[in-house]
Copies of this chain bind each other. A is one copy, B any other.
Protein backbone atom coordinates (compact mmCIF):
# COMPACT_ATOMS: atom_id res chain seq x y z
CA UNK A 1 0.00 0.00 0.00
CA UNK A 2 1.20 3.46 -0.86
CA UNK A 3 2.44 5.18 2.29
CA UNK A 4 0.84 8.55 1.55
CA UNK A 5 -2.48 6.97 0.64
CA UNK A 6 -2.42 4.79 3.76
CA UNK A 7 -1.93 7.81 5.99
CA UNK A 8 -4.86 9.51 4.28
CA UNK A 9 -7.16 6.50 4.70
CA UNK A 10 -6.84 6.63 8.49
CA UNK A 11 -7.46 10.33 8.45
CA UNK A 12 -10.61 10.00 6.37
CA UNK A 13 -12.09 7.53 8.82
CA UNK A 14 -11.82 10.20 11.49
CA UNK A 15 -13.21 13.13 9.53
CA UNK A 16 -16.92 12.32 9.36
CA UNK A 17 -18.08 15.91 8.88
CA UNK A 18 -15.90 16.54 5.87
CA UNK A 19 -16.94 13.12 4.54
CA UNK A 20 -20.56 14.16 4.61
CA UNK A 21 -19.71 17.39 2.77
CA UNK A 22 -17.62 15.50 0.27
CA UNK A 23 -20.55 13.23 -0.56
CA UNK A 24 -22.69 16.25 -1.29
CA UNK A 25 -19.91 17.91 -3.29
CA UNK A 26 -19.48 14.77 -5.40
CA UNK A 27 -23.10 14.86 -6.30
CA UNK A 28 -23.69 18.59 -6.71
CA UNK A 29 -20.29 19.73 -8.06
CA UNK A 30 -20.63 23.24 -6.60
CA UNK A 31 -17.04 24.16 -7.48
CA UNK A 32 -17.22 23.16 -11.14
CA UNK A 33 -15.06 25.43 -13.22
CA UNK A 34 -13.10 26.93 -10.34
CA UNK A 35 -9.34 26.80 -9.89
CA UNK A 36 -8.16 26.84 -6.32
CA UNK A 37 -4.63 27.83 -5.30
CA UNK A 38 -3.64 26.64 -1.86
CA UNK A 39 -0.78 27.16 0.59
CA UNK A 40 -1.40 24.89 3.57
CA UNK A 41 0.52 22.40 5.71
CA UNK A 42 0.65 19.48 3.28
CA UNK A 43 -0.12 16.56 5.52
CA UNK A 44 -2.80 13.86 5.46
CA UNK A 45 -5.66 15.93 6.87
CA UNK A 46 -5.08 18.65 4.33
CA UNK A 47 -5.07 16.04 1.60
CA UNK A 48 -8.62 15.16 2.54
CA UNK A 49 -9.68 18.79 2.14
CA UNK A 50 -7.94 18.95 -1.23
CA UNK A 51 -9.78 15.86 -2.42
CA UNK A 52 -13.08 17.22 -1.16
CA UNK A 53 -12.63 20.42 -3.15
CA UNK A 54 -11.56 18.42 -6.19
CA UNK A 55 -14.59 16.17 -5.83
CA UNK A 56 -16.67 19.35 -5.73
CA UNK A 57 -15.51 20.05 -9.26
CA UNK A 58 -12.48 22.32 -8.74
CA UNK A 59 -8.97 22.02 -10.08
CA UNK A 60 -6.30 22.43 -7.45
CA UNK A 61 -2.70 23.59 -7.17
CA UNK A 62 -1.17 23.37 -3.71
CA UNK A 63 2.09 24.11 -1.93
CA UNK A 64 3.20 24.24 1.69
CA UNK A 65 2.85 27.18 4.07
CA UNK A 66 5.88 26.34 6.17
CA UNK A 67 9.31 25.07 5.14
CA UNK A 68 9.26 22.20 7.63
CA UNK A 69 5.67 21.00 7.81
CA UNK A 70 5.23 19.18 4.49
CA UNK A 71 5.06 15.38 4.48
CA UNK A 72 6.66 14.42 1.20
CA UNK A 73 4.75 11.18 0.72
CA UNK A 74 1.47 13.02 1.07
CA UNK A 75 2.59 15.70 -1.38
CA UNK A 76 3.57 13.01 -3.87
CA UNK A 77 0.29 11.18 -3.42
CA UNK A 78 -1.67 14.37 -4.09
CA UNK A 79 0.41 15.23 -7.12
CA UNK A 80 -0.54 11.88 -8.63
CA UNK A 81 -4.22 12.45 -8.13
CA UNK A 82 -6.45 13.62 -10.94
CA UNK A 83 -7.14 17.36 -10.95
CA UNK A 84 -4.47 18.11 -8.33
CA UNK A 85 -0.90 19.26 -8.58
CA UNK A 86 1.31 19.66 -5.53
CA UNK A 87 4.54 21.67 -5.32
CA UNK A 88 5.13 21.15 -1.60
CA UNK A 89 8.46 19.79 -0.32
CA UNK A 90 9.82 19.44 3.20
CA UNK A 91 13.00 21.27 4.15
CA UNK A 92 13.02 23.92 1.44
CA UNK A 93 14.92 27.19 1.79
CA UNK A 94 13.18 30.55 1.47
CA UNK A 95 13.86 30.84 -2.24
CA UNK A 96 12.48 27.38 -2.99
CA UNK A 97 9.55 28.11 -0.71
CA UNK A 98 8.49 31.13 -2.76
CA UNK A 99 9.27 29.37 -6.02
CA UNK A 100 6.65 26.81 -5.09
CA UNK A 101 4.19 29.58 -4.25
CA UNK A 102 4.89 31.08 -7.65
CA UNK A 103 4.10 27.73 -9.24
CA UNK A 104 0.70 27.85 -7.60
CA UNK A 105 0.13 31.37 -8.86
CA UNK A 106 1.20 30.38 -12.38
CA UNK A 107 -1.79 28.08 -12.28
CA UNK A 108 -4.00 31.21 -12.20
CA UNK A 109 -6.38 30.29 -9.40
CA UNK A 110 -9.64 32.18 -8.96
CA UNK A 111 -9.92 31.19 -5.31
CA UNK A 112 -7.07 31.08 -2.76
CA UNK A 113 -6.75 29.19 0.50
CA UNK A 114 -3.99 30.30 2.80
CA UNK A 115 -2.53 29.48 6.18
CA UNK A 116 -0.43 32.48 7.18
CA UNK A 117 -1.27 34.65 4.16
CA UNK A 118 1.99 34.09 2.27
CA UNK A 119 0.09 33.30 -0.91
CA UNK A 120 -2.08 36.40 -0.64
CA UNK A 121 0.91 38.53 0.12
CA UNK A 122 2.94 37.17 -2.82
CA UNK A 123 -0.01 37.76 -5.11
CA UNK A 124 -0.53 41.34 -3.97
CA UNK A 125 3.14 42.27 -4.02
CA UNK A 126 4.44 40.38 -7.07
CA UNK A 127 1.43 39.67 -9.25
CA UNK A 128 -0.99 42.55 -8.84
CA UNK A 129 -2.23 41.95 -12.37
CA UNK A 130 -3.58 38.54 -11.36
CA UNK A 131 -5.77 39.99 -8.61
CA UNK A 132 -8.65 40.60 -10.95
CA UNK A 133 -8.80 36.89 -11.69
CA UNK A 134 -9.61 36.14 -8.06
CA UNK A 135 -13.15 36.03 -6.71
CA UNK A 136 -12.08 35.45 -3.13
CA UNK A 137 -10.05 33.50 -0.65
CA UNK A 138 -10.03 32.02 2.79
CA UNK A 139 -7.46 32.15 5.56
CA UNK A 140 -6.92 29.45 8.16
CA UNK A 141 -4.88 30.92 10.99
CA UNK A 142 -4.68 33.76 13.56
CA UNK A 143 -1.43 35.09 12.24
CA UNK A 144 -2.76 35.21 8.69
CA UNK A 145 -5.93 37.00 9.74
CA UNK A 146 -3.96 39.61 11.69
CA UNK A 147 -1.82 40.17 8.61
CA UNK A 148 -4.87 40.53 6.38
CA UNK A 149 -6.47 42.97 8.79
CA UNK A 150 -3.33 45.09 8.66
CA UNK A 151 -3.50 44.97 4.86
CA UNK A 152 -7.15 45.95 4.99
CA UNK A 153 -6.56 48.93 7.24
CA UNK A 154 -3.78 50.02 4.84
CA UNK A 155 -6.30 49.65 1.97
CA UNK A 156 -3.93 47.12 0.53
CA UNK A 157 -6.24 44.13 0.47
CA UNK A 158 -7.82 43.85 -2.94
CA UNK A 159 -10.19 40.90 -2.72
CA UNK A 160 -12.54 39.33 -0.17
CA UNK A 161 -11.05 36.79 2.19
CA UNK A 162 -13.03 34.76 4.67
CA UNK A 163 -11.35 34.62 8.08
CA UNK A 164 -11.96 30.97 8.89
CA UNK A 165 -9.78 31.38 11.94
CA UNK A 166 -12.09 33.83 13.65
CA UNK A 167 -15.29 31.86 13.51
CA UNK A 168 -16.40 30.40 16.85
CA UNK A 169 -16.24 26.81 15.61
CA UNK A 170 -12.59 27.29 14.72
CA UNK A 171 -11.59 29.21 17.82
CA UNK A 172 -13.12 26.94 20.37
CA UNK A 173 -12.02 23.66 18.89
CA UNK A 174 -9.05 24.10 16.60
CA UNK A 175 -7.31 26.84 18.56
CA UNK A 176 -8.07 25.82 22.13
CA UNK A 177 -8.18 22.03 21.92
CA UNK A 178 -6.25 21.39 18.71
CA UNK A 179 -3.29 23.62 19.48
CA UNK A 180 -3.39 22.72 23.15
CA UNK A 181 -3.24 18.97 22.75
CA UNK A 182 -0.93 18.81 19.78
CA UNK A 183 1.59 21.25 21.21
CA UNK A 184 1.97 19.23 24.38
CA UNK A 185 1.93 15.94 22.52
CA UNK A 186 4.72 17.19 20.24
CA UNK A 187 6.80 18.42 23.18
CA UNK A 188 6.35 15.14 25.04
CA UNK A 189 7.23 13.04 22.01
CA UNK A 190 10.23 15.17 21.04
CA UNK A 191 11.77 15.46 24.50
CA UNK A 192 10.38 12.45 26.40
CA UNK A 193 10.08 14.87 29.33
CA UNK A 194 7.39 14.81 31.96
CA UNK A 195 4.79 17.57 32.08
CA UNK A 196 3.57 17.10 35.63
CA UNK A 197 5.67 18.89 38.21
CA UNK A 198 7.22 21.21 35.62
CA UNK A 199 7.29 25.00 35.71
CA UNK A 200 5.80 25.81 32.33
CA UNK A 201 5.53 29.36 31.06
CA UNK A 202 2.99 30.09 28.35
CA UNK A 203 3.30 33.37 26.48
CA UNK A 204 -0.16 34.71 25.72
CA UNK A 205 -3.67 33.93 26.87
CA UNK A 206 -5.57 34.04 23.60
CA UNK A 207 -7.43 31.04 22.20
CA UNK A 208 -4.33 29.02 21.27
CA UNK A 209 -2.15 29.92 24.20
CA UNK A 210 -4.91 29.51 26.79
CA UNK A 211 -5.50 26.06 25.30
CA UNK A 212 -1.83 25.18 25.86
CA UNK A 213 -1.94 26.60 29.38
CA UNK A 214 -5.12 24.71 30.28
CA UNK A 215 -3.87 21.33 29.05
CA UNK A 216 -0.45 21.76 30.64
CA UNK A 217 -2.00 22.62 33.97
CA UNK A 218 -4.42 19.74 33.62
CA UNK A 219 -1.54 17.33 33.22
CA UNK A 220 0.03 18.59 36.45
CA UNK A 221 2.36 21.42 35.50
CA UNK A 222 2.58 24.66 37.42
CA UNK A 223 1.81 27.16 34.70
CA UNK A 224 2.76 30.83 34.54
CA UNK A 225 1.15 33.01 31.91
CA UNK A 226 2.58 36.19 30.38
CA UNK A 227 0.32 38.72 28.67
CA UNK A 228 0.27 42.28 27.39
CA UNK A 229 -3.48 42.87 27.79
CA UNK A 230 -4.73 43.56 31.34
CA UNK A 231 -8.07 41.82 30.79
CA UNK A 232 -6.52 38.67 29.42
CA UNK A 233 -3.97 38.73 32.22
CA UNK A 234 -6.73 38.96 34.78
CA UNK A 235 -8.61 36.12 33.12
CA UNK A 236 -5.52 33.97 33.53
CA UNK A 237 -5.26 34.92 37.20
CA UNK A 238 -8.87 33.99 37.86
CA UNK A 239 -8.40 30.71 36.02
CA UNK A 240 -5.70 29.84 38.54
CA UNK A 241 -2.48 30.78 36.79
CA UNK A 242 0.49 32.73 38.02
CA UNK A 243 0.86 35.85 35.84
CA UNK A 244 4.23 37.56 35.47
CA UNK A 245 6.40 39.50 33.09
CA UNK A 246 8.35 37.19 30.81
CA UNK A 247 11.71 38.39 32.13
CA UNK A 248 10.65 37.23 35.59
CA UNK A 249 8.89 34.08 34.51
CA UNK A 250 11.71 32.80 32.35
CA UNK A 251 14.08 32.73 35.32
CA UNK A 252 12.22 29.78 36.83
CA UNK A 253 10.92 28.14 33.66
CA UNK A 254 11.54 24.50 32.79
CA UNK A 255 9.63 24.85 29.53
CA UNK A 256 8.41 27.98 27.73
CA UNK A 257 5.77 27.85 24.99
CA UNK A 258 5.01 30.91 22.88
CA UNK A 259 1.73 31.33 21.00
CA UNK A 260 1.09 35.05 20.65
CA UNK A 261 1.39 35.85 16.96
CA UNK A 262 3.96 38.49 17.87
CA UNK A 263 7.74 38.66 17.45
CA UNK A 264 10.52 38.47 20.04
CA UNK A 265 8.21 37.42 22.81
CA UNK A 266 11.33 35.76 24.12
CA UNK A 267 13.82 38.44 23.18
CA UNK A 268 17.44 39.09 23.93
CA UNK A 269 16.86 40.42 27.45
CA UNK A 270 14.69 37.48 28.38
CA UNK A 271 17.22 35.01 26.97
CA UNK A 272 19.95 36.57 29.09
CA UNK A 273 17.97 35.77 32.21
CA UNK A 274 16.88 32.30 31.18
CA UNK A 275 16.76 29.44 33.65
CA UNK A 276 19.59 26.99 33.05
CA UNK A 277 18.32 24.02 31.07
CA UNK A 278 15.05 25.60 29.94
CA UNK A 279 13.35 24.16 26.85
CA UNK A 280 11.78 26.67 24.43
CA UNK A 281 9.01 25.78 22.01
CA UNK A 282 6.88 27.92 19.75
CA UNK A 283 3.30 27.19 18.84
CA UNK A 284 2.58 30.38 16.93
CA UNK A 285 2.47 30.40 13.15
CA UNK A 286 5.79 32.06 12.33
CA UNK A 287 9.25 31.38 13.76
CA UNK A 288 9.61 34.93 15.08
CA UNK A 289 8.32 34.51 18.62
CA UNK A 290 11.67 33.34 19.98
CA UNK A 291 14.45 35.73 18.94
CA UNK A 292 16.71 33.13 17.39
CA UNK A 293 19.17 35.70 16.13
CA UNK A 294 19.74 36.90 19.67
CA UNK A 295 19.98 33.28 20.76
CA UNK A 296 22.72 32.53 18.22
CA UNK A 297 24.44 35.69 19.26
CA UNK A 298 24.42 34.95 22.96
CA UNK A 299 25.52 31.35 22.55
CA UNK A 300 29.10 30.15 22.42
CA UNK A 301 28.01 27.01 20.77
CA UNK A 302 24.85 25.68 19.14
CA UNK A 303 24.28 22.04 18.24
CA UNK A 304 21.47 19.62 17.52
CA UNK A 305 21.64 17.10 20.33
CA UNK A 306 18.58 15.03 19.50
CA UNK A 307 16.16 15.09 16.61
CA UNK A 308 14.31 18.37 16.85
CA UNK A 309 16.30 19.68 19.85
CA UNK A 310 19.00 22.32 19.52
CA UNK A 311 21.20 23.15 22.46
CA UNK A 312 22.43 26.72 22.97
CA UNK A 313 25.45 26.91 25.28
CA UNK A 314 25.92 30.25 26.98
CA UNK A 315 29.27 31.57 28.12
CA UNK A 316 28.37 31.25 31.80
CA UNK A 317 27.77 27.50 31.61
CA UNK A 318 24.02 27.80 31.34
CA UNK A 319 22.27 26.13 28.41
CA UNK A 320 18.89 26.28 26.88
CA UNK A 321 17.19 24.14 24.25
CA UNK A 322 15.05 25.18 21.30
CA UNK A 323 12.62 22.71 19.73
CA UNK A 324 11.96 22.49 15.99
CA UNK A 325 14.07 25.57 15.25
CA UNK A 326 11.45 27.78 16.81
CA UNK A 327 8.87 26.83 14.20
CA UNK A 328 5.41 25.77 15.30
CA UNK A 329 6.28 22.71 17.25
CA UNK A 330 3.15 20.67 16.66
CA UNK A 331 3.85 20.55 12.95
CA UNK A 332 7.52 21.22 12.47
CA UNK A 333 8.96 18.90 15.10
CA UNK A 334 9.96 15.48 13.72
CA UNK A 335 7.34 13.99 16.04
CA UNK A 336 4.76 16.72 15.61
CA UNK A 337 1.76 15.43 13.71
CA UNK A 338 -0.22 18.63 13.55
CA UNK A 339 -3.61 19.10 15.01
CA UNK A 340 -5.68 16.07 15.92
CA UNK A 341 -7.64 14.75 12.98
CA UNK A 342 -11.10 15.45 14.39
CA UNK A 343 -10.23 19.08 15.00
CA UNK A 344 -9.16 19.55 11.43
CA UNK A 345 -12.36 17.85 10.36
CA UNK A 346 -14.21 20.85 11.76
CA UNK A 347 -11.83 23.51 10.46
CA UNK A 348 -11.58 22.03 6.99
CA UNK A 349 -15.33 21.55 6.80
CA UNK A 350 -15.65 25.27 7.40
CA UNK A 351 -13.02 25.83 4.71
CA UNK A 352 -14.92 23.68 2.23
CA UNK A 353 -18.23 25.43 2.88
CA UNK A 354 -16.55 28.84 2.80
CA UNK A 355 -15.07 28.09 -0.62
CA UNK A 356 -18.52 27.01 -1.77
CA UNK A 357 -19.86 30.31 -0.43
CA UNK A 358 -17.25 32.21 -2.46
CA UNK A 359 -18.11 30.26 -5.57
CA UNK A 360 -21.78 31.10 -5.11
CA UNK A 361 -21.10 34.77 -4.36
CA UNK A 362 -18.47 35.93 -6.83
CA UNK A 363 -19.28 39.61 -6.29
CA UNK A 364 -18.24 40.08 -2.65
CA UNK A 365 -16.41 43.30 -1.85
CA UNK A 366 -12.69 43.22 -0.90
CA UNK A 367 -11.90 42.92 2.79
CA UNK A 368 -11.67 40.43 5.63
CA UNK A 369 -15.03 38.65 5.92
CA UNK A 370 -16.58 36.61 8.66
CA UNK A 371 -17.54 33.03 8.05
CA UNK A 372 -21.32 33.18 7.49
CA UNK A 373 -23.07 32.26 10.74
CA UNK A 374 -25.02 29.55 8.93
CA UNK A 375 -21.87 27.73 7.88
CA UNK A 376 -20.50 27.83 11.40
CA UNK A 377 -23.70 26.40 12.81
CA UNK A 378 -24.09 23.86 10.05
CA UNK A 379 -20.72 22.32 10.88
CA UNK A 380 -21.65 22.11 14.57
CA UNK A 381 -24.90 20.39 13.69
CA UNK A 382 -23.31 17.80 11.43
CA UNK A 383 -20.64 17.10 14.04
CA UNK A 384 -23.20 16.50 16.79
CA UNK A 385 -25.15 14.23 14.45
CA UNK A 386 -22.05 12.14 13.70
CA UNK A 387 -21.54 11.79 17.45
CA UNK A 388 -25.17 10.71 18.01
CA UNK A 389 -25.72 13.59 20.39
CA UNK A 390 -29.21 15.05 20.57
CA UNK A 391 -29.90 18.47 22.06
CA UNK A 392 -32.96 20.39 23.16
CA UNK A 393 -34.99 22.60 20.86
CA UNK A 394 -36.69 25.80 21.87
CA UNK A 395 -40.45 25.42 22.17
CA UNK A 396 -42.49 28.16 20.56
CA UNK A 397 -43.42 29.32 24.04
CA UNK A 398 -39.71 29.67 24.85
CA UNK A 399 -38.99 31.50 21.62
CA UNK A 400 -41.76 33.95 22.48
CA UNK A 401 -40.37 34.43 25.95
CA UNK A 402 -36.92 35.23 24.60
CA UNK A 403 -38.24 37.98 22.35
CA UNK A 404 -40.76 39.31 24.84
CA UNK A 405 -39.74 41.87 27.43
CA UNK A 406 -42.90 42.41 29.38
CA UNK A 407 -42.67 39.56 31.85
CA UNK A 408 -40.44 40.44 34.76
CA UNK A 409 -40.54 39.81 38.47
Interface residues of A (CB under 8 A from B): 6-7, 9-11, 13-14, 65-67, 94, 97, 116-118, 121, 125, 146-148, 150-151, 153-154, 156, 168-169, 172-173, 176-178, 181-182, 185, 188-189, 191-197, 215, 217-222, 226-231, 233-235, 237-246, 248, 261-264, 267, 277, 286, 288, 305-306, 309, 335, 337-338, 340-343, 376-377, 380-381, 383-384, 387, 389-395, 397-398, 401-409
Query: Is there contact, CB below 8 Å, between A241 and B222?
Result: yes
A364 to B116, CA, bound (A): 41
Interchain CA distance A7-B13 in the complex, whole Å: 35
Instruction: Give complex CA distance A393, B387 in Å.
Output: 30
Least distance between A209 CB and chain B CB atoms (Å): 13
- A380 B195 Cβ-Cβ under 8 A: no
Question: Which single residue of chain B is at the shortest CB-CB distance from A153?
Answer: B403
B residues less than 8 Å from A261 (CB atoms): 402
Q: Could you show 16 A-B contacts with beta carbons less than 8 Å apart?
A: A121-B408, A172-B238, A176-B238, A189-B335, A192-B337, A218-B219, A220-B238, A230-B391, A233-B384, A233-B389, A233-B391, A244-B390, A245-B391, A245-B392, A286-B407, A286-B409
Q: What copy number does this chain have within its complex? A: 4
Q: Which residues of B contact A193 (CB under 8 A)?
A: 14, 340-342
With A192-B338, A228-B392, A392-B246: A10-B409 Cβ-Cβ less than 8 Å? no
In angstroms, Cα B186 to Cα A337, docked, is 12
Bound Cα distance from A324 to B220, whole angstroms: 27
CB nearest neighbor in B for A216 = B240
Residues of chain B within 8 A of A226, CB atoms compared: 391-392
Smallest CB gap from A409: residue in B: B118
Given A197-B240, A226-B391, A244-B390, the answer on whether A117 and B234 have CB atoms closer than 8 Å is: no
Q: A227-B391, A335-B335 are in contact. List 7 more A-B contacts (CB 8 A).
A: A9-B305, A10-B305, A65-B409, A147-B405, A192-B340, A229-B377, A233-B389
Question: Is A393 touching B228 in the complex (CB atoms < 8 A)?
Answer: yes
Q: Are B342 and A233 in contact (CB under 8 A)?
A: no
Instruction: State whether A240 and B409 are in contact (beta carbons under 8 Å apart), knowing that A220-B177, A234-B383 are contacts in the complex.
Output: no
